[in-house]
Structure 1
Amino acid sequence: MAINAILLVNPSTMGKIDAAAIASGIGGYGLMQAAGAHVAACVLRYYPAMVRAIIFCGPGNNGGDGHVAARLLAESGVDVCRYGVEPRPGGDAARAHADCPGKILPLADWCPEPGDVIVDALFGAGLDRPVNDEVAALIERAKAAETPVVAVDLPSGLSGRTGQPTGACFQACHTVTFAALKPGHLLMPGRALCGEMHLCDIGIPARLITGDDPISCNHAGLYNDYLPAADPAQHKYKRGHLVVFSGRLISGGAARLAASAGLHAGAGLVTLATPPGAVMVQATHLTAVMQRSVKSADDLDQWLEDPRLAAFVLGPGFGDLDKARDFVTPLGGANRPVVLDADGLSAFAGDTERLGGLFLGETRLVITPHEGEFRRLFAELSDDPQLSKIDRARAAAKILNAVVVYKGPDTVIAAPDGRAAVNAGAPPWLATAGSGDVLAGIIGALLAQGMPPFEASCAGVAMHGQAGDRAGRAMTAEDLPPHIAPL
């Protein structure tokens, strides 16, 4: 018996997992008993001084979990009141309802009182449409009274697939879910609406907690086997030569951040490719980072004849969008990995077909857009309300034949082959100017050391988050590079 804290399963897949567990001989009512027990335990642990436990029960199995929790809380001496609808006859939820003494009152009858704690067992992950007006009014009453909510599986009104509210939605203080997380538990704003997450084992065998859709939390198993290994015989070129393109005189700081991050992330050499007019200014700031004056795409073409140049980062503070497009063309033909960020992405707004055409064949392009940059590149994907952030990242990855690092508090890393990971552990103070430049440099360094693009991106996002944790709440982007450490 187990939980899977790595896999993310859509609600439809979770339904298949439940069905497979029952088909294997595990009683559905036993699963419901275990689920309701975890809910009751959460309520008792976090709200020992509650006056009433208010259980909102829907007609399905989520409501059945609520009936079990209501019975167990009552047996623990808690004053319990149930509101909602009776379950459909004949199923496990009906059995749970029959085993719990007392009547169910209409939802409209609930009047908030001091000391109430709500158990939201109305719909959970089983609903992907707006709640009705009666439930919406209930949610508003709970919100106005600031009554704490413990959600069963998911707050009612939240899509387990997209992490987006479908209309009115409970704000939970705690969410108790079972066997595996859903995307809506990690994607924003779902993660915030769930409050503190509790992933619980209800007795489903580990062999059944699987899915045919390769979505996971970002975790070490995705990249550990590909991390650069220390070799006593290696020299700086074996550790990879990373090139970071610098912008004009006034905007070179972003490139310096990326270059410094590249060094700290393990690249053996890092060179700033700098416009002639900015070389002297950059030189006053650089020590271990080298420089090369690169004026035009022709200069870049000649330099690319050096096979020791292992990977490239273009975009941070670059400024000149026309020049960025001119530079990406030879990079596309150089058969080496490239990270495009910031202006490197904005240069191809409305022209993703051209960008994708430069990187055909084996995947070696990584793009690192934030929400605004993603929208400029993929307006149609951004405007489709049916798509989750995972869906959008995957679609973009296929369009460009690139790994997409779709940044944010719920960064999604997606590969053209459909693999996707959601990173939700980074500290919120990483949301500061220049932080993305550091991330681009980290990923560039890992690519320069030979990691494949998807694995380098997953590892880079993890390293970036850990550096933020070490740097602390008062950090700026300039503080991050010294805190970058091997995974």
Structure 2
Amino acid sequence: MMDHKMKKNPGSIPHSVWPAEAIGPLERAAADACGLTLYELMLCAGDAVFQAAQRAYPDARSWLVLCGHGNNGGDGYVAARLAKAAGIEVTLLALESDRPLPEEAAQAREAWLNAGGEIHSADIVWPKGAGVIIDALLGTGLQHAPRAPVAGCIERANDYPAPIVAIDIPSGLLAQTGAAPGAVIDAAHTITFIALKPGLLTGKARNYTGHLHYDALGLEAWLTGQEAPFRRVEVSQLARWLTPRRPASHKGDHGRLVIVGGDRGTGGAIRMAGEAALRAGAGLVRVLTRRENIAPLLAARPELMVHELTPRTLEESLAWADVVVVGPGLGQQEWGKKALQKIENFRQPMLWDADALNLLAINPDKRHNRLITPHPGEAARLLGCPVAEVENDRLDAARRLVKRYGGVVVLKGAGTIVADESGALAVVDAGNAGMASGGMGDVLSGIIGAFLGQKLAPYDAACAGCVAHGAAADALAAELGTRGMLASDLFSPLRRMVNPDAIDE
């Protein structure tokens, strides 16, 4: 009973992700390498749309096809012609322009007319009773809010009582960023071609893409040899990061982790980070917090080693630790500030979250052994910009954070971004709207800290931690739905995710 929006065909979505501006050159290079014309690719794309729509809505005997004035519209003409040949009643509405159609789209339009199809203006009274709408209005080249008359057509389509199948990307959604600056098609299904675009995975994408499908249009062999600049990471890859433990290993082999935080009134944050680290496989977890938190934490999770945070215990713990996590419940008073001043000189991997990031925004510095995990509000403070600027281009925001602060950045949100100083960038394809509740970030900090202690490289620890975190939430959502999900609910399914070798496929 999952109610988070975007779903995928298992095993059908690639892990390579290409920037929007690379799609056109990539398509042309692939076609040339495989001896295909761009029109032949368009025929393949239109056929893929037709097949996907028929599979999703086999009983729909009347289609409404909306064609724009570009190659996306050309794909729509092809799909319309194939549907008509299959005996489906097709009403095709086209947005005309003073500009000539691209050559391939013009060929597709002519083939539709030659097959006896008619082209209606989009401003007519739309027919009633269509069982599905095909969105072929706007493609991946859009860089601004749709203007009239396209915006009005999008709104009419969303109001029409039929599901929408979007071609390549829901019209109005920006392919590079996933931003939605204006009207956007609310698709039940999206079928994308040749390359996966970032805007299908991050930003507002999940609100609009529905079930995501992918078709390489016969170019799989050539595409496999191309190195994409971004990666999609998801649950099937956990086994690559989290290999089975050696039978004779002991707790010291799996990391000594120190977690610092839990000022007055925020002991729950440090408890969740500590327990998450244990459930993610940390060998030993020492928590430094306020004295009044010690008894409750030990009662709730006796496997944690809990001490009062003092200059002495902090110094001893930093000498003992393999990894430090600081921030959950830290606060921004002198107590937290003094601890962070000591921790910032730690030479081994460390993760800063929550109030540690708010303090970092006040006194910014660059460190190569640090991993930071801001949500969009924290990222905006770290960059000194509005939150909207972060959300409008999450990939760029993550890159800017890495440039300014060094190390590894995890920009949290729907379609979490992981980036590092080498230029590596991943989009996390896991998680759901149930995670919009307090404490989820504390749990993520503990998971990533545990993976750092188990000797994963910081970038890999971040990717694996975000995927395990999101996948645990997805398992809960599949069973119980998203509303009412608590951060501490993740502990049980998390244990399954961090043992991928034991998961029954």
TM-score strictly above 0.5: yes
Where does residue 310 of structure 1 map in the other structure?
Answer: 322
Q: Which moved more, 1:114-123 or 1:209-218?
A: 209-218
Where does residue 237 of structure 1 map in the other structure?
Answer: 252
Cα distance in structure 1, aligned partners of 2:406 and 2:386: 16
2:166 to 138, 143, 151: 151
> Any conservation in 1 of the 2:415–2:429 contact (CA below 8 Å)?
yes
Shift of 1:143: 2.6
Where does residue 130 of structure 2 map in the other structure?
Answer: 115
> Any conservation in 2 of the 1:339–1:366 contact (CA below 8 Å)?
yes
Q: For residues 475 and 4 of structure 1, do their structure 2 counterparts lie closer, same or farther at Cα, with a shift above 3 Å needed?
A: closer
Q: Does 1:329 align with 2:341?
A: yes
Cα distance in structure 2, aligned partners of 1:464 and 1:386: 21
Q: Does 1:137 align with 2:149?
A: no
String of CA shifts for 1:318-349, please: whole Å, max 9, x gaps. 22443333222322222111111212222223
Q: Does 1:22 align with 2:22?
A: no
Where does residue 289 of structure 2 map in the other structure?
Answer: 274
Cα distance in structure 1, aligned partners of 2:301 and 2:134: 58
Where does residue 343 of structure 1 map in the other structure?
Answer: 355
> Any conservation in 1 of the 2:255–2:454 contact (CA below 8 Å)?
yes
Q: Does 1:257 align with 2:276?
A: no
Letter in 2 for 1:301: E
Percent identical: 34
Q: Does 1:91 align with 2:100?
A: no
Helix, strand or coil at the partner of 1:133:
coil
Please show how residues 56-455 of structure 1 align to structure 2 within 5 Å: 56-84=66-94, 85=96, 88=100, 91-101=103-113, 102-208=117-223, 214-219=229-234, 225-227=240-242, 230-296=245-311, 299-306=313-320, 309-351=321-363, 353-354=364-365, 356=366, 359=367, 363-380=368-385, 382-384=387-389, 388-455=393-460
Cα distance in structure 1, aligned partners of 2:88 and 2:40: 23
Helix, strand or coil at the partner of 1:83:
strand
Calculate the TM-score normalised by the size of structure 2.
Answer: 0.87
Q: Does 1:50 align with 2:60?
A: yes
String of CA shifts for 1:281-339, please: whole Å, max 9, x gaps. 4343341111233223x642344233xx1111111122244333322232222211111
Cα distance in structure 2, aligned partners of 1:127 and 1:433: 36
Cα distance in structure 2, aligned partners of 1:386 and 1:319: 25
Letter in 2 for 1:454: Y
Cα distance in structure 2, aligned partners of 1:385 and 1:247: 28
Helix, strand or coil at the partner of 1:440:
helix
Helix, strand or coil at the partner of 2:360:
coil
String of CA shifts for 1:34-65, please: whole Å, max 9, x gaps. 11011112222233333532222223221111
Q: For residues 13 and 477 of structure 1, do their structure 2 counterparts lie closer, same or farther at Cα, with a shift above 3 Å needed?
A: same
1:13 to 1, 8, 22: 22
Helix, strand or coil at the partner of 2:361:
coil
Cα distance in structure 2, aligned partners of 1:416 and 1:92: 41
Q: What are the ranges of 5 or more consecutive residues in structure 1 without an aligned counterpart?
A: none
Shift of 1:228: 5.8
Q: What are the ranges of 5 or more consecutive residues in structure 2 without an aligned counterpart?
A: 1-10, 501-505
> Any conservation in 1 of the 2:430–2:474 contact (CA below 8 Å)?
no
Letter in 2 for 1:204: L
> Any conservation in 1 of the 2:203–2:392 contact (CA below 8 Å)?
no
Q: For residues 79 and 278 of structure 1, do their structure 2 counterparts lie closer, same or farther at Cα, with a shift above 3 Å needed?
A: closer
Q: Which moved more, 1:45-54 or 1:326-335?
A: 45-54
Where does residue 44 of structure 2 map in the other structure?
Answer: 34
Helix, strand or coil at the partner of 2:329:
coil
Cα distance in structure 1, aligned partners of 2:240 and 2:122: 53
Cα distance in structure 1, aligned partners of 2:105 and 2:80: 13
* RMSD over equivalenced CA pairs, Å: 2.6
Letter in 2 for 1:23: D
Letter in 2 for 1:96: A
Helix, strand or coil at the partner of 1:237:
helix
Cα distance in structure 1, aligned partners of 2:123 and 2:475: 49
Cα distance in structure 2, aligned partners of 1:245 and 1:439: 15
Cα distance in structure 2, aligned partners of 1:220 and 1:50: 34
> Any conservation in 1 of the 2:31–2:37 contact (CA below 8 Å)?
yes
Q: Give every structure 1 segment of 4 or more consecutive aligned residues whose post-TM-superposition deviation is greater than 4 Å.
A: 209-213, 220-226
Calculate the TM-score normalised by the size of structure 1.
Answer: 0.90
Shift of 1:178: 0.9
| Number of equivalences | 476
